[in-house]
Amino acid sequence: MITKCFGKDITTTQAGPATGREMPVPPAIEVAFSDTILSIAPAPEAVDSYLAPGWIDIQVNGFAAVDYNDPRTPGEEIARSIHALFSTGVTRFYPTVITGSPERMEGALRNLARARESLGEGEAIEGFHVEGPHISAEDGPRGAHPRPWVRPPDLEEFRRWQEAAAGRVRIVTLAPEWVGAPAYIEKITAEGVVAAIGHTQATGAQIADAVSAGATLSTHLGNGAHSVLRRHPNYIWEQLAEDRLMADFIVDGIHLDASFLKVALRAKGIERSVLVTDAVTPAGAAPGRYRVGELEVDMTPDGRVVLAGQDRLAGSGLRMDRGIENLVRMVGMPLANAVRMATTNAARAGNVAGRAQGLAAGDRADLVEFRFDPEGPRIEVLATWVSGRRVFARDRDAVF
């Protein structure tokens, strides 16, 4: 069946520089699609909503009070969390499993893979991101990951992950200072897995070796780091300066301030920058105490997620639609650039098939229709489609 939807095409707007809000009025279009986009034509009449490719989030540890790191999380709860993600405009995502015991990590991956295959909503699970356990053991770079389970890269363990995940581990974040890290990166990237640098205190030479071995991404750059660093050189500057690395950023106004974000985006350029949430269990839920794997975390009334009873950040409470708004608000970014960071750039960074072109014939019909108020700035998601199937629709008569 062929479906049509209408909206202003934000992806055709001349995006301009990394910052600066100048945005010409985009053209209204009609998109015809089945499971893929079939054609794009001028809309027959004016419209007040926008169309974009659906958001892609390559780092989601949990959402809507659902923990993806618990092997016991019921499938119906995972389904509920995916529906909540659809309401924010997300159409593809990578559930992310963090540092834990081998048994717990494999169990979480197995549980998520089972959900992907059995749930109607499971198609949105594009693959899995394993963040850790091959990270720095030192306070600061380790972040909130539990120290007892930090361990060196191990290809046999990677094989066990892939067996548990039905071969769908697509990103592995590791620290390149481990002995044997370059060889490990060469092996996993040869199998089509993205090797990402994160939670590291590597030297410039170690980062260069990792990139030469095949690493292509920096995970939540600017976070998972010492609170105080020497001015230069340091592992943040080295990654910013490395043009072969894309970088993703948590844009919640908590993890990064506006000045760092502006500089980082100018260094990487929009073409190498990606928006992620690093959302954990309490994201999209009420403030309170939750679990992320074996960790207890608190979400405070102001939206910070911290280790229980501490001030150390432990993921975020961010939604992707709010992250796009924050890019516009914090750095004055044109909406088109912010959408690009949440869609086609994320697809390239995470090797998401059929999503690299954007609103173009032949790409998957993963779409989001939304209203945008530049004065807020504020996004209101109206409808979301995954492979041409509408998975979310809002009451269009509701006050925006």
Is the Cβ–Cβ distance between 46 and 337 less than 8 Å? no
Distance CA(225)–CA(138), nearest Å, equals 10
For residue 340, report the phi and psi dihedrals to the nearest 5 degrees: -60, -40
Ramachandran sector of residue 199 (left: φ over 0; alpha: ψ -120 to 50; beta: rest): left
Tell me which residue has tokens 């990590």: 105
- Catalytic pick among 67, 252, 278, 363: 278
278 is catalytic: yes
State whether residue 398 is helix, strand or coil.
Answer: coil
Distance CA(345)–CA(339), nearest Å, equals 9
Number of other CB atoms surrounding residue 80 within 10 Å: 16
* Helical packing angle, 258-268 and 320-331, nearest 10°: 90
State whether residue 2 is helix, strand or coil.
Answer: coil
DSSP structure string for 317-359: ---HHHHHHHHHHHH---HHHHHHHHTHHHHHHHT-TT-SSSS
Catalytic residues: 278
